[in-house]
């Protein structure tokens, strides 16, 4: 199909318009996407939802505002439309069918990830590690940020197989692994495919650039939009004013609402980790907080209680324990004889304890 492009002048160059949308007195255009998602641009609380993901703020599910610190997030792959695609495993929502009760546990609700499901995740990790090794050989040494992300991905995969938890805890851990996997893959794609194009970026290039199947990013900067476009990354340019030129009717589209995302809270709910203004300026801080929270693993102590002040995201020294300590503690609990009472008291509330793993 022949695609007709309409060019919008941006001062130093002109970007094509494949689609355009008017939202709240602003215009969003894209040079390489035939749809325009609704930006996460209003003030709202950022927290993990019932599917253990971050809803409208989850960079594996929805485009976010571009930030130089996390430029590689624009290269996060889109969720495959084909459920048989092996990569679709990285958006799988863990169900009770993937969770098997621990046979020797005396604590109700504890279990493990199904071995066959873990084997699928492990196979994907091994394939990606082969690519990491090749990248390391080509570069001589991996970037520190990439090395750190690879380590956390590997550690999380071990946790999925060696620790018995509640199903909610396991869902949280699986989502962590999926996020780390997608981040590592995006970093590799960024270093190998997209960053080299940015080094040779030239506004003199007016040819159509094929777009990669990536999640992309929002931006209000014409410079950033042009660079991402010529690198082959999906980009959505937000104009803070009406365009001086009329957009052809056949290029106008309705915005894509985030109706496919989950906004319901889990039970018990995760705490709010950040209050975002929904602006490009605080996007980096929002992602900082999301990644920081994703590196905290929670488990629930039904014999404890918490006050009305809620959960402190900065644990004190008494809350910092190692994974070995956690595993040893749980094994000790599982070896205890069951209580003599047949009627179990329902805990008044749930204590969340943070475990920093690295």
Residue 172: CB atoms within 10 A of its CB come to 22
User: What is d(CA 223, CA 237) in angstroms, rounded to the nearest whole number?
Assistant: 10
Given this model, what pLDDT does residue 343 score?
A: 36
State the pTM of this model.
0.79
Contacts of 59 (CB under 8 A, 6+ apart): 70, 73, 76, 215, 287, 290
Q: How far apart are CA 135 and CA 139, in angstroms?
A: 6
Residue 140 burial class via C-beta count within 10 angstroms: exposed 0-12, middle 13-18, buried 19 and up: exposed
pLDDT value, residue 278: 92
Residue spans of the domains in the chain: they are: 6-356
**CA nearest neighbour of 358 among 86, 91, 152:** 152
Give strand pairing partners of 26.
23
* pLDDT for 202: 56
- For residue 37, what is the DSSP state? B
- Tell me, what's the pLDDT at 357? 39
Alpha helix (H) ranges present in the chain? Answer: 115-139, 144-162, 167-189, 195-199, 222-231, 283-294, 323-335
Q: Which residues contact 81 (CB under 8 A, 6 or more apart)?
A: none
pLDDT reported for residue 275? 96
| Per-residue pLDDT at 245 | 55
pLDDT by residue for the chain (358 residues), tens only, comes to: 333 444 454 444 578 889 999 888 889 999 999 999 999 999 999 999 999 999 999 999 999 999 999 999 999 999 999 999 999 999 999 999 999 987 776 667 889 999 999 999 999 999 999 999 999 998 888 899 999 999 999 999 999 988 888 899 999 999 999 999 999 999 999 999 999 888 766 555 556 678 999 999 999 999 899 999 999 999 999 987 666 556 777 788 999 999 999 999 988 899 999 999 999 999 999 999 999 986 654 443 333 333 333 333 333 323 333 344 444 544 454 455 544 443 333 333 333 433 333 3
Q: Please tell me the predicted confidence (pLDDT) of residue 246.
A: 65
| C-alpha–C-alpha distance, residues 301 and 354, integer Å | 11
Closest CA to 274 of 124, 64, 96: 64
Both tokens assigned to 82? 């084909």
C-alpha distances out from residue 220 to 27, 56, 198, Å? 11, 19, 18
Looking at residue 346, what is its pLDDT? 37
pLDDT number for residue 105: 66
In terms of Cα–Cα distance, which of 28, 56, 55 is closest to 40?
Answer: 56
């Amino acid at each position: 199909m022949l695609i007709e492009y309409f060019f919008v002048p941006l001062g130093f160059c002109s970007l094509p318009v494949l689609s355009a949308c008017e939202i709240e007195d602003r215009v969003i255009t894209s040079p390489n996407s035939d749809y325009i998602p609704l930006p996460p641009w209003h003030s709202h609380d950022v927290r993990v939802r019932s599917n253990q993901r971050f809803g409208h703020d989850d960079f594996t599910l929805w485009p976010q505002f571009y930030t130089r610190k996390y430029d590689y997030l624009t290269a996060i792959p889109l969720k495959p439309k084909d459920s048989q695609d092996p990569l679709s495993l990285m958006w799988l929502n863990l169900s009770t069918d993937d969770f098997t009760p621990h046979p020797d546990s005396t604590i109700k609700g504890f279990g493990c990830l199904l071995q066959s499901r873990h084997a699928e995740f492990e196979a994907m990790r091994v394939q990606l590690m082969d690519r990491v090794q090749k990248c390391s050989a080509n570069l001589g040494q991996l970037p520190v940020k990439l090395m750190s992300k690879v380590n956390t991905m590997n550690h999380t995969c071990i946790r999925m197989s060696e620790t018995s938890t509640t199903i909610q805890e396991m869902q949280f851990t699986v989502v962590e692994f999926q996020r780390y996997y997608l981040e590592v893959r995006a970093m590799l794609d960024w270093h190998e495919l997209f960053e080299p194009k940015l080094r040779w970026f030239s506004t003199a290039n007016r040819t159509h650039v094929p777009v990669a199947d990536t999640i992309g990013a929002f931006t209000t900067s014409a410079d950033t939009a042009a660079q991402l476009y010529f690198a082959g990354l999906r980009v959505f340019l937000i104009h803070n004013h009406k365009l001086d030129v009329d957009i052809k009717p056949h290029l106008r589209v309705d915005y894509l609402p985030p109706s496919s995302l989950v906004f319901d809270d889990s039970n018990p709910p995760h705490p709010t980790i950040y209050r975002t203004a929904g602006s490009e300026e605080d996007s980096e801080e929002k992602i900082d907080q999301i990644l920081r929270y994703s590196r905290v693993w929670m488990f629930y102590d039904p014999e404890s209680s918490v006050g009305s002040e809620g959960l402190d995201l900065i644990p004190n020294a008494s809350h910092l324990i190692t994974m070995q300590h956690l595993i040893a503690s749980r094994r000790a609990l599982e070896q205890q004889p069951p209580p003599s009472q047949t009627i179990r008291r329902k805990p008044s509330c749930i204590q969340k304890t943070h475990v920093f793993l690295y």
